[in-house]
Amino acid sequence: MPGNHTHSLFWRVYIPGFIALLTLLLRLHNIDVPSITQDESSMIRYAQEGILERGYSFRWRGGEEFLLSTYELVPYPIAISIFFLGFSEFAVRLPAVFFAVGTSLLIYYFASYLFNRKVGLLSALIFAILPWAIYWGNNAFYPAQLQFFTLLLTILVHRVFSTGQINNALPYLICLCFLATFFTWEVAGIVLPVFLIIGLLTRSENSNWHTGKHTWYAGGIAILAVVAQLTYRTILRYPYEKLGNSLSDLSFLRLAFTQTDFSPFFYVQAFSKGDAHMMIILFFIVGLFFLRANHNMRFLYLFFLGCQIFLTIFLGLYALRYSYFLLPYVIIIASAATFLFCDYLAGSLHSTSLVSLNVIKRANIAVLLTLQVAIALPWGLQGFNIFSDKKKAPPLEFSYYHRGASFRTIAQALQKHYHSGDIIIVQAPSPLIVYTQLTGNYFLQSITSSAVFFDTTDSPYYMDKWVGNPVLRNYQELQSILYQHPRVWFVSVPHFRSMKRLEPVLQDLIANEMTLVAESINGRLYFWENKHLANQSANET
């Protein structure tokens, strides 16, 4: 029938096309406005210095090749984009945009399969317009890529659990997808035990997925790859000792609650730190009332809860992005709960009203969907500051109108004034390299907030973890550098974080004895000139 064909075309072609286009446009808008971040620049260096030059991912540190031992797959799409488009903010962030578009389509497909196409449409629409998703959807670090592979893996695993049957090829496809997830961010390996627990809890009498030999072969391959990677990253540290904590310390999972800074509710609260999430969190909670009657809702809640428990217990390093890969599941649950609640509310109102059930249902849906979209929109009703702390600015990644730290502005200012032979003390060297090719000479830190390495070879010294610049650890060491060289630059980006690494006497020296040459959003460029040495150098010239 022509009518059925048009209806099918609408949901199968036009709606996915609209979702993909909306996701694409919102992430391409102002994609090159924010400066490249420290994390982005690290991936760019692995792509430029390693993949494009040698064919494998490494970066130079202390004059030696430093092989990538986490986020292994992230630089490759970036390298491909740079190869075809050249280097620019647009080129390095374009792969993340494509992953975000792919994620929005997977959300539409998965939510439609679990519930119905209306839930799929609302879920994908919220993801397309949500500021948190937009931020990571045009950022060259790993979250967008991880989210795509995790959701794809979930769809494949759910297919196995829902049918209870498995063919010979599917276990290897799931294994391949898991490895893509794991080598995008190793901590995401927690999804493997989470899926295993869910499978055992929801297994029916007719299920045979756990007995097939190909399931065990694929599982063995996945476990072998995980063990090999964790062993490799441990061996790679030799001959260096690390001072301070970072994700590269996690050669295996360890109990987070044994640490003094343990925060048991951090990953749960991460989703409530932005006002755009208000309706999402509200209906995520409402969805709990429909758990008993809907097995697909139970699957999503179990996966979300399992990942939250593993992150809380085993990951004692805290950042909002660590839980970002769970956002699609929260959105799908909230969207499904919205329609289920509309049906429940319409039935309750119809029993006491003369208005038809369909009219009440449509009115409920119109009101709730309008609120969902209006609050989630970057230009929506987020000014209420209901969830967020009114005394503090919202996290950068929750803000649509952000410019980030001023790495580009300060780097360009330094390049303009730089003379050959100048000494550069830089707190974030990777963005400086990306924008100017200058590596800097020293890293300044008297309070260990950023991990540094100790070279235990014949000439032992502390080096920063990015390029291997020697670390200046106190006032005397900084003063020695200042009085030995005619011209010294201090690149402080991000400025406030850089200052936290320094004891007060160092902060006073920089603020009062060095000249502020350039200043921008959370960025400062200071200059020190030793006039006696400068005049002596000029006379010799």
Most confident of 116-130, 191-205, 263-277, 391-405: 116-130
- The whole-angstrom separation of Cα 516 and Cα 201 is 62
Using CA atoms, how far residue 465 sits from 41, 59, 228, 242, in Å, is 13, 11, 23, 9
Contact 474, 408 (CB under 8 A): no
Nearest to 294 by CA among 282, 150, 160, 286: 286
The residues facing 58 across adjacent strands are 67
Q: Cα–Cα distance between 174 and 158 in angstroms, integer?
A: 11
Tens digit of each residue's pLDDT (9 = 90 or more) over 143-176: 999 999 999 999 999 999 988 778 889 999 999 9
User: Using an 8 Å Cβ cutoff, are 45 and 440 in contact?
Assistant: no
pLDDT of residue 288: 94
DSSP 8-state secondary structure symbol assigned to residue 407: H
Q: Which residue has the tokens 């022509």?
A: 2
d(CA 141, CA 79): 13
Contact of 139 with 38, CB cutoff 8 Å? no
Say how far apart CA 462 and CA 484 lie, in whole Å: 20
Q: Which pLDDT value is given to residue 251?
A: 46
Measured between alpha carbons, how far is 109 from 127 in angstroms, rounded to an integer?
Answer: 13
Domain-wise residue ranges, the chain: 2-396, 407-540
Which pair of structure tokens corresponds to residue 517?
A: 């040459």
3-state secondary structure of 453: strand
Are 184 and 74 contacting, i.e. CB atoms less than 8 angstroms apart?
yes
In this structure, are residues 146 and 325 in contact, taking their beta carbons and an 8 Å threshold?
yes
Q: Per-residue pLDDT for 438 more than 90?
A: yes
Pull the structure tokens for residue 103: 């994620």
For the record, the structure tokens of 23 come out as 């996701």
Beta strands in 90-195 (DSSP E): none
| pLDDT tens sequence across 482-528 | 999 999 999 999 888 889 889 999 999 999 999 999 998 889 999 99
What share of the chain has pLDDT > 90, as a percent? 56
- Which whole number is the average pLDDT over 77-98? 97
pLDDT in tens, 381-429: 554 555 555 556 667 788 777 767 789 999 999 999 999 999 999 999 9
Q: What distance in Å separates the CA atoms of residue 321 and residue 267, rounded to the nearest whole number? A: 10
Task: Say if pTM beats, i.e. exceeds, 0.85.
Answer: yes
Look-up of token digits 């072609």: 13
> Do 435 and 408 contact (CB within 8 A), yes or no?
yes
